[in-house]
Amino acid sequence: MTDHHLGILLIEIAFLLALTFLLASLLTRIRIPGILGALFIAMALHYTPIGENLLSSEIQVPLSLLADLGVVFLLFFIGIQIDPGEMRGLGRNIVWLTVLNTVTPFLLGIAVMLALGYGWVIAFVIGLTRMPTAEAVIVPILDEFRLIRTRIGTFIIGAGVLDDIVEVILVGIVSVWISKKAADVTSTITGILLSLVLLVLLAWISRRWLIPRMSSLLPRHPRNLMLLSMVVLFSFAGFSEYSDLGMVVGAIVAGVMMRPTFEKMREVGEQVTQTIQDISYGFLGIIFFFWVGLNSDVVGMIQEPVLAILLFLAAFLGKLIGVFIMVPMGKLETKEAWAIGIGLNARLTTEIIVAQLLFTAGIIDLHLFTALISASALSTIIVPLTFALLVRKWGEEFRTVIGGSANE
């Protein structure tokens, strides 16, 4: 990137931040998280000269890096809020939730494609794209409404993390299938599972031994704890990304690993937690929502409305149905099911990646590719806003149940 491009990027980011600041001042008055202002601003600017420039090859790389850092910081902050004890209390039900909210949209996605005359192979792959959840889009809203440490937050984050494993396997399978190396599918999945086991082992060693010893090497000061946090965050996020698990998993794990140290240092831990939150929601998280909005193809959604809406509904209704199955099972209340079902419908990255892989390989045509991107854009518009409105209405009820067990 030249100095000229860097200057333009900084000016355009300043402009976007200013517009977001103004829109956020309006959104907060109706109790909608201000960070969604970045999403709406970027979507509105997608086809303007500013949007085109931000999506150009010279600008997109550094902007994408900042967006990735936004995801890492957002989910690291969320990880700090997670109590593993509370998560274990809901463990079996989180597994149930993950199975139901992935299998149901998968089957509906297959049904839609078959009904429209597509073959089994394409129907199967498109069905897979209906499964994952982009929890990075929804967790800032959970945090805004102080729902991270409630049953709602625990279910969404827990199922979202397990979904990330599904996403990794999904992208791996599609990539191998496209390259016509079907024999490598087993080795790909085996490698992912081995990486997951190694990540868990490293996390256990770090939490029990490495992090406590490192935290005692320097005086208890916010800047020292912040430096240690960055070491842990980038180490785990980097390892997860390098080993194809995805940096999202590593970022959340890093936060969970640092939580005991933050609690032990009390006031210092609270100061650093606040600093990480300010960086996440005051800058990097906003850049991430810019990136999401800029990559939302609203015009494509208008051009391909029927197929896009059907693909959106296959995922949206599939996840809702999967979650609501847990109501008669006695695992969830009806209001909880609504909030969790809509929250788990946040999606973006994986289906776009898979769609791009399929389109580039010539396996799907432009019509289906546009519909997949448009369905993703539709989710980007509807889900965050609907979820925010829903928890604004029922949030106080959700906050009265902190942790707890759905097994009772």
The span from the CA of 112 to the CA of 307, in Å, is 9
With contact defined as beta carbons under 8 Å apart, do 387 and 141 qualify? Answer: yes
**136: Cα within 13 Å, side-chain hemisphere:** 31
pLDDT at 107: 94
pLDDT tens, position by position, 211-227: 999 998 988 899 999 99
pLDDT at 404: 44
Q: pTM of the predicted model, to two decimals?
A: 0.68
Report the chain's C-alpha Rg in angstroms. 21
Using a 10 angstrom Cβ sphere, with 0-12 exposed, 13-18 middle and 19 or more buried, the burial of residue 224 is middle
pLDDT at 30: 67
State the residue for tokens 């785990």.
236
pLDDT tens, position by position, 337-349: 999 999 888 775 5
pLDDT tens over the chain, length 408 residues: 677 778 888 898 899 999 999 998 887 776 666 777 887 888 888 888 888 888 787 777 888 888 889 878 887 887 787 666 655 655 778 888 888 888 999 999 999 999 988 888 788 888 888 887 766 677 777 877 888 778 888 888 888 777 766 665 665 566 556 555 444 556 666 777 788 789 889 999 998 899 999 998 988 899 999 999 999 999 999 998 888 777 777 888 898 899 999 999 989 999 999 999 889 888 988 888 888 778 766 776 677 688 889 999 999 999 999 999 999 988 888 988 999 999 888 775 556 656 666 776 677 776 787 788 778 777 877 888 888 888 888 878 887 754 444 443
State the residue for tokens 């896009």.
308
Where does 58-124 show beta strands of DSSP type E? none
With contact defined as beta carbons under 8 Å apart, do 40 and 23 qualify? Answer: yes
Instruction: Find all residues with CB under 8 Å of 199, minimum gap 6, and list them.
Output: 236, 239, 240, 243, 245, 249, 250, 253
Instruction: Find all residues with CB under 8 Å of 131, minimum gap 6, and list them.
Output: 102, 103, 105, 106, 163, 166, 170, 315
The span from the CA of 134 to the CA of 39, in Å, is 15
Query: Domains, the chain, ranges and CATH?
Result: 70-288+297-399 (1.20.1530.20)
Give pairs for 173-176: CB < 8 Å, separation 24+.
173/128, 174/125, 174/128, 174/354, 174/357, 174/358, 175/357
Helix, strand, or coil (residue 35) = coil
Length of the chain: 408
Tokens of 111: 């049904």
Beta bridge partners of 402: 150
What one-letter code names the amino acid at 30? I
pLDDT at 230: 95
pLDDT at 403: 45
pLDDT at 349: 55
285: left (phi over 0), alpha (psi -120 to 50) or beta: alpha
pLDDT at 14: 92
The span from the CA of 117 to the CA of 137, in Å, is 33
The span from the CA of 183 to the CA of 189, in Å, is 11
**Distance (Å) of CA 234 to CA 30, 201, 242, 394:** 37, 17, 11, 36
With contact defined as beta carbons under 8 Å apart, do 155 and 340 qualify? Answer: yes
pLDDT at 407: 41
pLDDT tens, position by position, 35-82: 778 878 888 888 888 888 887 877 778 888 888 898 788 878 877 876
pLDDT at 18: 93
Q: Using alpha carbons only, what angle is made at residue 236 by residues 235 and 239, rounded to the nearest 5 degrees?
A: 85
State the residue for tokens 């935290």.
215
